[in-house]
Structure 1
Amino acid sequence: MQLADRMAPLQTNVFADMDRAKANAMAAGQSIIDLSLGSSDLPTAPHVLDAIAAALYDSSTHGYALFHSTDPFRRAVATWYEQKFGLPVDPETEVLLLIGSQEGTAHLPLALLNPGDFALLTDPGYPSHAGGVHLASGQIYTMPLLADHGFLPQFQDISPQVLSQARMMVLSYPHNPTTAQASLEFWQEAVAFCDRNQLVLVHDFPYGDVTYSGQPAPSVLQADRQKRVSIEFFSMSKSYNMGGFRVGYAIGNAELITALRQVKANIDFNQYRGILQGAIAALTGPQDTVHQTVETFRQRRNTCIAALDRIGWAVPTPTATQYIWAQLPQPWTDNSIDFGVQLVEATGVAVAPGRGFGKAGEGYVRLALVHPVAVLEEAVHRIANFLQVHSPHRIRGKTPPVKGTVGR
């Protein structure tokens, strides 16, 4: 059977390779501590679950959910944005329900790109951003994110020839996987750059609340208050621990929202309206659970950073997201995939190889803080034992690693 050429770039996936390595480790009897996936282990708030449960017995929620039936959700989103960012939002023309934000970022290129058009993507970046461009038969121009520049793209490095063929730029801050943040001044620069070059500015914004400064990260719409060039994607997965419910939305330029709605209408209906009742409860109800989630990840971050430091692995303390972005020691600086595969097979600890997020991610691994602190300490203990065997010259711990008991 012959598949379409556009499928070729989708054939290989580092995370599928890691999934096989995890399966092999489990088959060999390892107990797995999975730090490779950003799926939160924290529960959805009770008032959200109550709203969903109540809807189950309302037969009016059992049918198809077309666009106009999502009006209450879209109004809740508009009010939430107005309160949070001081931005006026038209729920009818500037908000679109999505089955998770990944659906939107993957489908938007179908509305924007003709075959051969360029999309400007960050490297490293979230893999589905590239997948959507490939499916739209577009070309990818990667903007390297380097530590020397705070993991921010350097717009002046993009060639005029590429810009002449480019139609969209995708950014995401707070950033997965580097954990970097972007200031409002950066967003103003990005909006002006896209405006000058007739680019759509796409902001993937799932970690907007997961910051440790006490303030949410800036929305791109704060820099583009007229919504001239921008569209933003938000997910209920991180702030509200609703990953499995698959609720997200797009907000921004009305023409872009209409175009994405037209693509979506040819692919799917919306999710069950009872789930939307839960999402409305999350957005309009008490927000203390969001703060509790952030505090939980702050404690886990502090524990994990301190444990890594004790074994001699110095890692910058992230100011946002539920991840740690760690530069690998020798001899792994050029092969994060081998490190990830060998680590999970030897210890049961699974991390995400940086190479899976792009070429510029090579030499790093991402650790997701999706386990309690005791489990994270056990994971670092196992990593220390692995490094003592494979990188003994790197272990200079201030105190010997404490033998863990979790997962044994």
Structure 2
Amino acid sequence: MQFAKRLEPLQHNVFADMDQAKAKARASGLEVIDLSLGSLDLPAANHITDAIAQALTDTSSHGYLLFHGTKDFRQAAADWYSKKFAVSVDPETEVLPLIGSQEGTAHLPLAVLNPGDFALLLDPGYPSHSGGVYLASGQIYPMPLRAENGFLPVLEEVPSTVLAQAKMMVLSYPHNPTTAIAPLSFFQKAVAFCQQHNLVLVHDFPYLDLVFAENIAPSIFQADREKTVSIEFFTLSKSYNMGGFRIGFAIGNPALIKALRQVKAAIDFNQYRGILNGAIAALSGPQDNVKSNVAILRDRRDTFIQALNRIGWEVPTPPATMYIWAKLPEPWASDSLTFAAKLVENTGVAVAPGAGFGKFGEGYVRFALVHQPQILEKAVIGISKFLYP
């Protein structure tokens, strides 16, 4: 059999390699402490799961759900957004339900790119951003994120020859994996840049609520209030612990929403109405569980960083997200994949190698704060034994 060339860039995946390494560690009898995946161990709130459960006995909810059947959810999303960011949203033309934000970032390139067009992506960045471009037969121009620039791209570095073929730019702040927050001033600059070069501005926004201290995560539409070039993707996976329910939505320029809706209509229907009911309860109901999540993650962050500091691994305190982005010590500073593979093989502690997020992620590893503090401290003990045998 012969397969499409667009699959070639997708054949190698360091996270699949890490999955094999974890399986091998378990088979050897090691207890695996998995800090490689951003899947929180916290449950969805009762008022969310109750709303889903109540739909199960309603047999009218058991069939296909088309766009117009999602009206209540789209209204709840628009109301939630308007309340949070003071930007008006039309639920009919500017909101689209999604199976998580990853569906949006992976499928939008099919609506925007022609074969050979460039997409400007953050490097390091979330893997589905590049995957969607490859599936659309586009080209990627990586925008390096460096610590000295606050992990923000330098837009002036993008070559004019690339811009002549570029159709979209993808941002995502608070950022996975670096944990950086982009200030509103940067978004204003990015909007002006995309307007000048006729680019679609995509903002993946899953960690908007997971910010610490006095930090604020702005929306792209606080910089592009008229929604001239932008689309923003949200998920209920992080804020509301609904990762397994696969529910998110897009808000954006009506033409972009319409184009993404056309792609979605060719691929799938919407989720079960009960899940949408749960999402409505999440967005419109009490937000105490969101605040609780942030407090729990802040405690885990502080515990983990203090434990790393005690063994001599100094890392900066992240202002947001559920991750620690740590520069590797010598002699591992240029081989994050080998470090991650050897670490899980010897200790059972699994981390995400920075190289899995792009060329400029090399030299780092990402720790996900997805376990209770005592387990995180146990993981650091294993790391210490590996680094200093």
TM-score range, shorter chain: over 0.9
CA distance in 2, matches of 1:34, 1:215: 28
Q: For 2:187, what is the secondary structure of its paired residue? A: helix
1:101-250 → structure 2 map (5 Å cutoff): 101-214=101-214, 216-250=216-250
Is the Cα contact below 8 Å between 2:215 and 2:319 reproduced in 1? Answer: no
Q: For 1:178, what is the secondary structure of its paired residue? A: coil
1:4-53 Cα distance to aligned partner (Å, 9 max, x none)? 10000000000000000000000000000000000010010000000000
Q: Percent identity?
A: 68
Q: For 2:227, what is the secondary structure of its paired residue? A: coil
2:54 is the counterpart of 1:49: no
Query: Which residue in 1 is equivalent to 2:290?
Result: 290
Shift of 1:2: 1.0
Q: For 1:324, what is the secondary structure of its paired residue? A: strand
Shift of 1:213: 2.7
CA RMSD after TM alignment = 0.6
CA distance in 1, matches of 2:298, 2:330: 29
Query: Which residue in 1 is equivalent to 2:270?
Result: 270
Query: Cα–Cα, structure 1 residues 288 and 339, in superposed 2: closer, same or farther, change >3 Å?
Result: same
2:279 is the counterpart of 1:279: yes
Shift of 1:215: 5.5
CA distance in 1, matches of 2:62, 2:123: 42
1:224-373 → structure 2 map (5 Å cutoff): 224-373=224-373
CA distance in 2, matches of 1:144, 1:215: 24
Shift of 1:321: 0.2
Query: Which residue in 1 is equivalent to 2:383?
Result: 383
1:280-321 Cα distance to aligned partner (Å, 9 max, x none)? 000000001100000000000000000000000000000000
Runs (4 or more) in structure 1 with deviation over 3 Å come to none
Is the Cα contact below 8 Å between 2:124 and 2:361 reproduced in 1? Answer: yes
Letter of the 2:15 counterpart: F
Q: For 2:331, what is the secondary structure of its paired residue? A: coil
Letter of the 2:325 counterpart: W
* Consecutive unaligned residues in structure 2, runs of 5 or more: none
Is the Cα contact below 8 Å between 1:347 and 1:383 reproduced in 2? Answer: yes
Letter of the 1:29 counterpart: G
Is the Cα contact below 8 Å between 2:297 and 2:369 reproduced in 1? Answer: yes
Is the Cα contact below 8 Å between 1:124 and 1:360 reproduced in 2? Answer: yes
CA distance in 1, matches of 2:326, 2:21: 20
Query: Which residue in 2 is equivalent to 1:82?
Result: 82
CA distance in 2, matches of 1:217, 1:286: 21
State the TM-score, normalized to the length of structure 2.
0.99
1:216-249 Cα distance to aligned partner (Å, 9 max, x none)? 4100011000000000000000000000000010
Q: How many residue pairs end up in the alignment? A: 389
Query: Which residue in 2 is equivalent to 1:38?
Result: 38
CA distance in 2, matches of 1:134, 1:303: 39
Letter of the 2:370 counterpart: V
Letter of the 1:348 counterpart: G
State the TM-score, normalized to the length of structure 1.
0.95
CA distance in 2, matches of 1:136, 1:223: 28
Query: Which residue in 2 is equivalent to 1:4?
Result: 4
Q: For 1:346, what is the secondary structure of its paired residue? A: helix
1:246-304 Cα distance to aligned partner (Å, 9 max, x none)? 00100010000000000000000011000000000000000011000000000000000
Is the Cα contact below 8 Å between 1:210 and 1:216 reproduced in 2? Answer: no
